[in-house]
Structure 1
């Protein structure tokens, strides 16, 4: 896997505070938690390449209910 891409991200302070609390609950850094949330959303939508991005048909239909 290639190195990580860095870029500035501007967030509303209330969103950041909520993410900070959520990340602490999950024992992650805010950056790590944002990456986790994005990866999960991309995986659910089948937008990640390869087997890690593949979503089973049953999982997709369960999410739609």
Structure 2
């Protein structure tokens, strides 16, 4: 498992509420949902190597 680092995140109330609803639909924590969305965006942009450690719990 890759090392996890804490990072404070400032986010608007509307975005947080939308992420909470989405994470509930996907049966993830909000933190896991944010990481999933960021990882997906990085892959699509070609910014995340395909061999990078994937330590997510996507379920």
* TM-score, structure 2 normalization: 0.78
Residues paired across the two proteins, number:
52
Higher relative contact order (CA 8 A, sep 6+): 2
Q: How does 1:14-53 map to 2 (within 5 A)?
A: 14-51=14-51
Q: Which residue number corresponds to residue 2 of structure 1?
A: 2
- Once residues 42 and 28 of structure 1 are traced to their aligned partners in structure 2, the CA distance between those partners, rounded to angstroms, is 19
* TM-score, structure 1 normalization: 0.71
Higher Cα Rg, which structure = 1
SS at match of 2:48: coil
Query: Any unmatched runs of 5+ in structure 1?
Result: 53-65
